[in-house]
Amino acid sequence: MTVIAIDGTFASGKGTLGKGLAAHYGLPYLDTGKLYRATAKRVLDAGGDVSNSSDGTNAAKRISAKDLADPILKSGPIGAAASKVSVHPDVRAALFKFQRDFAAKGGVLDGRDIGTVICPDADVKLYVTASPEERARRRHAELTGYGETLSVADVLAQLKERDTRDSTRAAAPLKPAEDAHLLDTTGMSIAEVLKAAIEMCDAILVR
Ligand code: DC
Protein backbone atom coordinates (compact mmCIF):
# COMPACT_ATOMS: atom_id res chain seq x y z
CA MET A 1 0.00 0.00 0.00
CA THR A 2 1.86 3.07 -1.20
CA VAL A 3 1.31 6.34 0.64
CA ILE A 4 2.81 9.62 -0.58
CA ALA A 5 2.49 12.48 1.93
CA ILE A 6 2.79 16.02 0.61
CA ASP A 7 2.92 18.99 2.97
CA GLY A 8 3.70 22.58 2.25
CA THR A 9 2.80 26.20 2.36
CA PHE A 10 -0.35 27.80 0.97
CA ALA A 11 -0.27 28.08 -2.85
CA SER A 12 3.06 26.26 -3.10
CA GLY A 13 1.73 24.02 -5.89
CA LYS A 14 1.30 20.98 -3.64
CA GLY A 15 -2.27 20.33 -4.87
CA THR A 16 -1.27 20.33 -8.52
CA LEU A 17 1.69 18.13 -7.66
CA GLY A 18 -0.50 15.77 -5.60
CA LYS A 19 -2.91 15.26 -8.49
CA GLY A 20 -0.01 14.74 -10.91
CA LEU A 21 1.69 12.15 -8.70
CA ALA A 22 -1.61 10.35 -8.09
CA ALA A 23 -2.20 10.10 -11.85
CA HIS A 24 1.39 8.98 -12.48
CA TYR A 25 1.34 6.19 -9.88
CA GLY A 26 -2.35 5.27 -10.33
CA LEU A 27 -3.19 6.17 -6.71
CA PRO A 28 -6.25 7.92 -5.24
CA TYR A 29 -5.72 11.55 -4.21
CA LEU A 30 -7.02 13.50 -1.20
CA ASP A 31 -6.69 17.27 -0.81
CA THR A 32 -7.01 17.39 2.99
CA GLY A 33 -7.35 21.20 2.93
CA LYS A 34 -10.85 20.58 1.57
CA LEU A 35 -11.83 18.89 4.85
CA TYR A 36 -10.96 22.08 6.76
CA ARG A 37 -12.57 24.23 4.04
CA ALA A 38 -15.78 22.15 4.12
CA THR A 39 -15.79 22.39 7.92
CA ALA A 40 -15.41 26.18 7.78
CA LYS A 41 -18.19 26.45 5.19
CA ARG A 42 -20.53 24.37 7.32
CA VAL A 43 -19.84 26.63 10.35
CA LEU A 44 -20.43 29.79 8.31
CA ASP A 45 -23.61 28.40 6.69
CA ALA A 46 -25.01 27.66 10.15
CA GLY A 47 -24.24 31.23 11.30
CA GLY A 48 -21.50 29.95 13.64
CA ASP A 49 -18.02 31.28 14.46
CA VAL A 50 -14.88 29.58 13.08
CA SER A 51 -12.91 30.87 16.09
CA ASN A 52 -15.18 28.86 18.37
CA SER A 53 -13.87 25.32 18.91
CA SER A 54 -17.24 23.68 19.54
CA ASP A 55 -18.85 25.27 16.46
CA GLY A 56 -15.92 23.93 14.41
CA THR A 57 -15.90 20.50 16.03
CA ASN A 58 -19.65 19.96 15.57
CA ALA A 59 -19.23 20.82 11.87
CA ALA A 60 -16.10 18.66 11.45
CA LYS A 61 -17.88 15.59 12.89
CA ARG A 62 -20.47 15.80 10.11
CA ILE A 63 -18.04 16.04 7.16
CA SER A 64 -18.23 13.25 4.57
CA ALA A 65 -16.78 12.74 1.08
CA LYS A 66 -19.79 14.33 -0.61
CA ASP A 67 -19.06 17.68 1.10
CA LEU A 68 -15.71 17.99 -0.68
CA ALA A 69 -16.92 18.52 -4.25
CA ASP A 70 -18.39 22.03 -3.86
CA PRO A 71 -16.32 24.46 -6.05
CA ILE A 72 -17.00 27.31 -3.55
CA LEU A 73 -14.55 25.57 -1.18
CA LYS A 74 -11.64 26.98 -3.22
CA SER A 75 -12.65 30.63 -2.67
CA GLY A 76 -10.42 33.05 -0.75
CA PRO A 77 -12.84 33.72 2.15
CA ILE A 78 -13.45 30.01 2.76
CA GLY A 79 -9.67 29.41 2.74
CA ALA A 80 -9.13 32.11 5.35
CA ALA A 81 -11.94 30.66 7.50
CA ALA A 82 -10.42 27.17 7.07
CA SER A 83 -7.08 28.41 8.39
CA LYS A 84 -8.90 29.73 11.48
CA VAL A 85 -11.04 26.64 12.12
CA SER A 86 -8.00 24.35 11.70
CA VAL A 87 -6.25 25.71 14.83
CA HIS A 88 -8.67 23.86 17.15
CA PRO A 89 -7.28 20.49 18.34
CA ASP A 90 -10.81 19.00 18.57
CA VAL A 91 -11.52 19.96 14.94
CA ARG A 92 -8.28 18.25 13.88
CA ALA A 93 -9.18 15.17 15.96
CA ALA A 94 -12.64 15.00 14.35
CA LEU A 95 -11.09 14.98 10.86
CA PHE A 96 -8.32 12.50 11.73
CA LYS A 97 -10.22 9.25 11.05
CA PHE A 98 -11.41 10.30 7.60
CA GLN A 99 -7.79 10.92 6.57
CA ARG A 100 -6.46 7.71 8.17
CA ASP A 101 -9.17 5.61 6.54
CA PHE A 102 -8.31 7.15 3.17
CA ALA A 103 -4.57 6.52 3.64
CA ALA A 104 -5.14 2.94 4.78
CA LYS A 105 -6.04 1.99 1.19
CA GLY A 106 -2.94 3.75 -0.23
CA GLY A 107 -2.90 7.12 -1.92
CA VAL A 108 -1.48 10.59 -2.23
CA LEU A 109 -2.55 13.05 0.48
CA ASP A 110 -1.64 16.72 0.62
CA GLY A 111 -1.98 19.14 3.52
CA ARG A 112 -0.02 20.61 6.40
CA ASP A 113 0.47 17.70 8.82
CA ILE A 114 0.34 14.62 6.61
CA GLY A 115 3.98 13.55 7.07
CA THR A 116 4.08 14.58 10.72
CA VAL A 117 0.70 13.53 12.18
CA ILE A 118 -1.66 11.80 9.74
CA CYS A 119 0.77 9.44 7.96
CA PRO A 120 4.05 9.44 9.89
CA ASP A 121 4.87 6.09 8.24
CA ALA A 122 4.25 7.29 4.65
CA ASP A 123 6.54 5.69 2.05
CA VAL A 124 7.50 9.09 0.65
CA LYS A 125 7.22 12.51 2.32
CA LEU A 126 7.58 15.67 0.29
CA TYR A 127 7.61 19.22 1.65
CA VAL A 128 6.78 21.76 -1.04
CA THR A 129 7.28 25.49 -0.92
CA ALA A 130 8.11 28.52 -3.08
CA SER A 131 8.93 32.15 -2.39
CA PRO A 132 6.01 34.19 -0.97
CA GLU A 133 6.06 36.49 -4.02
CA GLU A 134 5.79 33.60 -6.46
CA ARG A 135 3.05 31.93 -4.44
CA ALA A 136 1.13 35.23 -4.33
CA ARG A 137 1.37 35.58 -8.12
CA ARG A 138 0.14 32.00 -8.66
CA ARG A 139 -2.72 32.36 -6.19
CA HIS A 140 -3.68 35.73 -7.66
CA ALA A 141 -3.97 34.19 -11.12
CA GLU A 142 -6.10 31.37 -9.71
CA LEU A 143 -8.44 33.73 -7.79
CA THR A 144 -8.80 36.00 -10.83
CA GLY A 145 -9.96 32.89 -12.70
CA TYR A 146 -12.71 32.48 -10.07
CA GLY A 147 -13.79 36.11 -10.64
CA GLU A 148 -12.24 37.53 -7.43
CA THR A 149 -10.68 41.00 -7.75
CA LEU A 150 -7.84 41.21 -5.18
CA SER A 151 -4.46 42.76 -6.09
CA VAL A 152 -1.24 40.70 -5.94
CA ALA A 153 -0.20 42.84 -2.92
CA ASP A 154 -3.46 41.93 -1.10
CA VAL A 155 -2.90 38.25 -1.83
CA LEU A 156 0.72 38.51 -0.59
CA ALA A 157 -0.42 40.11 2.69
CA GLN A 158 -3.08 37.39 3.23
CA LEU A 159 -0.57 34.68 2.37
CA LYS A 160 1.94 35.91 4.97
CA GLU A 161 -0.83 36.03 7.57
CA ARG A 162 -1.87 32.48 6.59
CA ASP A 163 1.73 31.17 6.71
CA THR A 164 2.16 32.62 10.19
CA ARG A 165 -1.11 31.13 11.51
CA ASP A 166 -0.53 27.70 9.93
CA SER A 167 3.05 27.40 11.19
CA THR A 168 2.72 28.91 14.69
CA ARG A 169 -0.48 27.19 15.89
CA ALA A 170 0.00 24.79 18.80
CA ALA A 171 -1.89 21.86 17.22
CA ALA A 172 -0.05 20.12 14.37
CA PRO A 173 1.73 23.22 13.02
CA LEU A 174 2.96 23.28 9.44
CA LYS A 175 6.54 22.02 9.40
CA PRO A 176 8.55 19.53 7.37
CA ALA A 177 8.75 15.99 8.79
CA GLU A 178 12.35 15.16 9.71
CA ASP A 179 12.51 12.65 6.86
CA ALA A 180 10.73 14.84 4.27
CA HIS A 181 12.32 15.65 0.92
CA LEU A 182 12.26 19.40 0.36
CA LEU A 183 11.07 20.73 -3.00
CA ASP A 184 11.34 24.49 -3.60
CA THR A 185 9.24 25.16 -6.71
CA THR A 186 10.25 28.83 -7.15
CA GLY A 187 10.90 29.43 -10.84
CA MET A 188 9.81 25.92 -11.84
CA SER A 189 6.99 25.03 -14.23
CA ILE A 190 4.30 22.51 -13.25
CA ALA A 191 5.94 19.91 -15.51
CA GLU A 192 9.38 20.52 -13.94
CA VAL A 193 7.97 20.18 -10.41
CA LEU A 194 6.24 16.90 -11.31
CA LYS A 195 9.40 15.52 -12.94
CA ALA A 196 11.54 16.40 -9.91
CA ALA A 197 9.00 14.86 -7.53
CA ILE A 198 8.72 11.65 -9.59
CA GLU A 199 12.51 11.32 -9.46
CA MET A 200 12.39 11.68 -5.65
CA CYS A 201 9.55 9.13 -5.36
CA ASP A 202 11.10 6.64 -7.82
CA ALA A 203 14.36 6.71 -5.86
CA ILE A 204 12.38 5.37 -2.87
CA LEU A 205 9.54 3.35 -4.41
CA VAL A 206 11.25 1.65 -7.38
CA ARG A 207 13.87 -0.69 -6.10
O1 DC B 1 -4.36 23.67 1.60
P2 DC B 1 -5.52 24.65 1.78
O3 DC B 1 -5.19 26.08 1.44
O4 DC B 1 -6.76 24.17 1.09
O5 DC B 1 -5.85 24.62 3.38
C6 DC B 1 -6.74 25.52 3.97
C7 DC B 1 -6.42 25.62 5.46
O8 DC B 1 -6.69 24.38 6.11
C9 DC B 1 -4.97 25.94 5.78
O10 DC B 1 -4.75 27.34 5.93
C11 DC B 1 -4.68 25.20 7.04
C12 DC B 1 -5.71 24.10 7.08
N13 DC B 1 -5.15 22.76 6.85
C14 DC B 1 -4.60 22.11 7.92
O15 DC B 1 -4.53 22.68 9.00
N16 DC B 1 -4.15 20.83 7.79
C17 DC B 1 -4.21 20.20 6.61
N18 DC B 1 -3.77 18.95 6.52
C19 DC B 1 -4.73 20.87 5.48
C20 DC B 1 -5.18 22.17 5.63
CATH code for the domain of 127: 3.40.50.300
For residues 134-140, give the mean pLDDT.
93
pLDDT value at residue 147: 81
Among 58, 81, 104, identify where a domain stops: 104
Query: Is the beta carbon of 36 within 6 A of some atom in ligand 1?
Result: yes
Query: Is the beta carbon of 8 within 6 A of some atom in ligand 1?
Result: no
Give me the amino acid identity at 50: V
Residues 91 and 117 in one domain: no
Among 83, 104, 125, identify where a domain stops: 104
The most distant pair of C-alpha atoms in the chain lies apart, rounded to whole Å, by 53
Query: Is the beta carbon of 25 within 6 A of some atom in ligand 1?
Result: no
- Give me the phi and psi of 12, to 5 degrees please: -85, -10
Query: Is the beta carbon of 10 within 6 A of some atom in ligand 1?
Result: yes
* pLDDT of 54 higher than 80: yes
pLDDT value at residue 148: 80
> Domain of 61?
32-104
Residue nearest to atom 2 of ligand 1 (CA): 33
Tell me, in angstroms, the distance from the centre of ligand 1 to residue 33's CA.
Answer: 4
Structural domains of the chain, count: 2
Residues 76 and 136 in one domain: no
Residue nearest to atom 6 of ligand 1 (CA): 33
Among 45, 70, 104, identify where a domain stops: 104
